[in-house]
Copies of this chain bind each other. A is one copy, B any other.
Amino acid sequence: MGTYQNILVAIDLNEEADKVVRKACQMGLQTGAKLTLIHVTEPLSYAYGGDIPMDLSSIQKQLHEHAEQRMSNFVQQHKLDDVDQLLVSGHIETEVHRVANELSSDLIVVGSHGRHGLALLLGSTSNGILHGATCDVLAVRI
Contact = CB atoms under 8 A, between A and B. Distances in A.
Which interface class (under 10, 10 to 19, 20 to 34, 35 or more) fits A?
20 to 34
Contact of A137 (B30, B112, B124): B112
Interface of A: 2-3, 23, 26-27, 30-31, 112, 114-116, 120-121, 124, 126-127, 130-141
Contacts of A31: 30
Copy total for this chain: 2
Contacts of A27: 3
Contact of A112 (B3, B114, B130): B130
A2 B30 contact: yes
8 contacts: A3-B27, A114-B131, A114-B132, A126-B130, A134-B141, A135-B141, A136-B139, A139-B139
